[in-house]
Amino acid sequence: MAVVTDTAAPTDTGGRNGSPQSRRGRPRGLPLLLNAVSVLLGIAIWWILAASGLTIPSPVAVVQRAKDLLADGTLEQDILVSLGRVLAGFVLGTAVAIPVGFLMGWYGAVRSLVEPWVQFFRTIPPLAIIPLAIVLMGIDETPKIFVIFLAAFLSCVISTFQGVVNVDRTLINAARVLGTRDLGIFARVVVPASTPFILVGMRVGLGSSWATLVAAELIAAQQGLGYRMQNAQLYYDLPTIFVGLISIGILGLLMDRVLLLAERRLTRWQERR
């Protein structure tokens, strides 16, 4: 009886948890193939819309404009400038949001003090903060990075906070029964259990950072993808606007994939579909 039970249990558990054996029927290259089909389908629809007379540039016109901007170094410089602003604001926002979210979730007093302000600023769009940022911080890089920082912080802090408050109390109580102190519980139970929430918050914060970029570059910018798009709007230069949009989308997608890879590596214990 004991031998039969020990032999059957791992097989059943492995099947439910998505072991390699249960994934044999799933082609490994299928997701990439579907991604490629989706991209080609999107380009085809874009091409059809442009050919139908809709006032948008064709893919060929946008590619040609991108080549021109790359040839004189404009697009490369704009990408580097905007990427630097987004990375600075996102990294700073995440670095502040994670400890604040942990404190809010772990200590009720901190939650009561901080949460009203977090919810208050979440309802204010970045465009509304720009005038105040200019008055308080000037027109250099500081207000641009601050607006992006705020967007990343507000997205990530809520997710981190939810991760902490959703930790199974049974795990915490079991650790206390075993004699683990608060610091050990925090490091061995709360942090691992909250990691999926933190990484999701980082992905949302990254999207918010890129979405805020164009608004941030309203602040007396002379370079950047957002600045280039706003400048092109004055001359009704639709190909340049499309180049900026596509550049932001591609950069955001690549950075999101990096975070998604980190999420999969850090949360291997989590059951996935």
The whole-angstrom distance between residue 15's C-alpha and the CA centroid of its chain comes to 32
Confidence band for 1, pLDDT divided at 50, 70 and 90: very low
Instruction: Quote the pLDDT of residue 13.
Output: 45
Confidence band for 70, pLDDT divided at 50, 70 and 90: very high
Tokens 């932001």 sit on residue: 248
What single-letter amino acid sits at 215?
A
Confidence band for 269, pLDDT divided at 50, 70 and 90: low
Mean pLDDT over all residues of the chain?
A: 83
Cα separation, 182 vs 43, whole angstroms: 54
Say if residue 211's pLDDT is above 50.
yes
Q: What is the pTM of this model?
A: 0.79
CATH of domain 58-266: 1.10.3720.10
Cα separation, 142 vs 140, whole angstroms: 6
21/167: higher pLDDT: 167
CA–CA–CA angle 204, 91, 106 (5° rounding): 70
CA 207, 198, 153, 111 dihedral sign is positive
Write the DSSP assignment of 119-173 as a string of letters: HHHHTS-HHHHHHHHHHHH-SSHHHHHHHHHHHHHHHHHHHHHHHHHTS-HHHHH
- Can you give the residue ranges of every domain in the chain? 1-56, 58-266
CB-neighbour burial class of residue 82 (10 A; exposed 0-12, middle 13-18, buried 19+): buried
Nearest to 187 by CA among 202, 170, 167, 205: 167
| Residues found in the chain | 273
Task: Tell me if residue 222 falls in helix, strand or coil.
Answer: coil
Instruction: Quote the pLDDT of residue 27.
Output: 67
Q: Mean per-residue pLDDT for 153-157?
A: 91
CB-neighbour burial class of residue 108 (10 A; exposed 0-12, middle 13-18, buried 19+): exposed
pLDDT in tens, 26-42: 566 787 888 889 989 99
Count of CB atoms situated within 10 Å of the CB of 70: 13
Instruction: Quote the pLDDT of residue 95.
Output: 95
What single-letter amino acid sits at 191?
V
Asked if 202 and 252 touch (Cβ cutoff 8 Å), the reply is no
Asked if 183 and 59 touch (Cβ cutoff 8 Å), the reply is no
Instruction: Quote the pLDDT of residue 272.
Output: 59
Asked if 203 and 260 touch (Cβ cutoff 8 Å), the reply is yes
The whole-angstrom distance between residue 246's C-alpha and the CA centroid of its chain comes to 17
pLDDT in tens, 117-141: 998 988 888 778 888 888 888 888 8
